[in-house]
Amino acid sequence: MDALEVLAHDHRMVEQLFRDYDAAASDRQRRGVVELLVRELSKHAALEEMLVYPLAGKVLPDGAREVDEHLNEHMAVKKTLLALDRLEEGDRRTDELVAELRREVEEHIREEEGVFMPRLRGCVSQQDLDGLGELIVRAKRDAPTRPHPNAPDEPPALILAAPLAAAYDRLRDRLQRRPQT
């Protein structure tokens, strides 16, 4: 898959997780889905920020402005993810925060798939998109699994901070017996 196909696949996975949340039969199942949402969206955002947005900022006309808009969307999502991550199983605020997250993510997906990705595809060769797709797939194994809204969201600081955040996240995931990736 090329980079844009990988990102779209991530979007489909997250949409399925929202359906799984709606279908969950218990607080424990809902909490499990929330933990998966936190992990998958944190990884997705970090990889877009490290690998896709820097490219878009260079090749798209007015790319810097467009990337800033996406980074602002990511910040809202990260703050919601952080609030969800801090809740305990069965917390009454979970449904409200998941609904907020769903709205934020649906808007992001609509804009990204409807405008951003087609524009990027028009400015980047298929060979480069294929190579970037391979890089994203490999980098997923080492991406942060928790939201870090106070961390840098642009290279070069992001490139230095992300591996440290990812190592810390994986330690926390192991200690809290969260899903491993």
Model pLDDT for residues 96-108, shown as the tens digit of each residue? 999 999 999 999 9
Percent with pLDDT over 90 in the chain? 76
CA distances from 46 to 40, 76, 122, 144, 175 (A): 10, 14, 23, 7, 22
Say what the pLDDT of residue 166 is.
65
**What's the confidence (pLDDT) of residue 83?**
97
- Taking 80 as the threshold, does the pLDDT of residue 4 lie above it? yes
Distance CA(153)–CA(113), nearest Å, equals 21
Residues 85-97 have pLDDT tens digits of 999 999 999 999 9
Cα–chain-centroid distance for residue 150? 15
User: Lowest-pLDDT range, 4-8, 141-145, 173-177?
Assistant: 173-177
Q: pLDDT at position 181, please?
A: 58
Torsion of Cα atoms, 141 then 45 then 9 then 172, to 10°: 40
CA-to-CA distance for 89 and 98, rounded, in angstroms?
13
CB count within 10 Å of CB 55 equals: 18
User: What is this structure's pTM?
Assistant: 0.87
Q: Are 104 and 76 in contact (CB under 8 A)?
A: yes
Q: Is the pLDDT of residue 129 over 70?
A: yes
Exposed/middle/buried for residue 25 (C-beta within 10 Å: 0-12, 13-18, 19+): exposed
At residue 23, does pLDDT exceed 70?
A: yes
pLDDT of 34 higher than 70: yes
Say whether pLDDT at 55 is over 90.
yes
